[in-house]
Each structure stands twice: as C-alpha cells, then as structure tokens.
Amino acid sequence: MTTRKIGQAKKAAPKANQNRVEGTEARPRQRTPVSGTRDILTVVGKNPEFYYRFIEDKDDGGARIWKFKQAGYEFVNYDEVSGIGQDAVYNVENIGSVVAVPNGSGNFMFLMKLPMEYYEEDKAAKAAAIDESEASMKRKRSSGADDGQYGEVKLSF
C-alpha cells in the first residue's frame, strides 16, 4: 500500500493505447474469444540455420524425444527465441529452460531444432523413397511373361 499526502495528486494511469513511456503507443491487442482458435505454435525469432519442430512425448516415457535426439534434434531454450505463440503468449521469461507449451490434453510439446543441413538430407532421402515407390507403380508389364501384373497405370497431371 502506498501512502500520499493530503492534497497530493494521484499519478494518472496510462491511456488505453499508450505505454508507460511518454509518447509511445502500445500495439493494439486483438481480442480472441475463449472458444476461438489460438496460435500457440508460432515461434518468433528463429535462427534460419535450423529447422524447428514441436515434439509431443505422451505416454512414451521419453522414448519419442530420445528418438529425435538420436536423429540430431536439440531442445530449444527460451533465451534462443523472441517469443512463442499468438501475441507471444509464452513470453521469453524462463531464461535457460527449454521451450514447452501445453497441448490442451494435460501433456506438453517441446520445441526442438535440427541443423538445416540434416533437415535437407532427411527431406531428400524421404523424396527418394517416394520416387522409388512411384516408379514401381509405373513399371510396364514384362514382355509375354505372366508375372501377375495386368493392365497399365498412367499418371496424368
């Protein structure tokens, strides 16, 4: 409780759209209804040298996170990013701790990052496997032999 002398004016609160620093305007807030959708997964201030992903580890006892760590992913600390979510709901105040956001069902999702070179390698390997699978769908029937295939598959785009 603060005390003031009789007759002393009470310090005025800032106007609705004004910061406490004189002459600076606060960013207008957009109201989100309770039943509305919220963007809790936006990461502000990402390092472009990394690929970022939220990992949920429910009922696995850490097995899923361990799998990602084995693939080269690392936890992201709060001090590595500027903010998380809509209007930076999860502000960067937990310096030194890993980024974790609630998923809405009592568990947490952890933000992890992977060096971009590993991400590009993984993406290329996945694309090669898809190309190989698609090529097997397009192969032609061998001449005259009854190899169990019939008809022809044509893909048109």
Domain range list for the chain: 43-133
> DSSP secondary-structure letter at 77?
B
Q: How far apart are CA 122 and CA 151, in angstroms?
A: 35
User: Would you say the pTM of this structure is higher than 0.85?
Assistant: no
Can you tell me whether residue 6 is helix, strand or coil?
A: coil
Q: Specify the amino acid at residue 36.
A: G
User: How far is C-alpha 68 from the geometric centre of its chain's CA atoms?
Assistant: 15
The SS3 assignment for 108 reads strand
Closest listed residue to residue 75, CA positions, set 63, 84, 66: 66
Which residues of the chain fall short of a pLDDT of 50?
Answer: 88-92
Predicted local confidence at residue 128, as pLDDT = 94
The dihedral formed by the CA atoms of 113, 119, 123 and 126, expressed in degrees to the nearest 10? -80
Q: Residue 92 and residue 83: Cα distance in Å, rounded?
A: 6
In the 3-class helix/strand/coil scheme, how is 52-63 assigned residue by residue?
Answer: EEEEECCCCCCH
- pLDDT for 132: 86
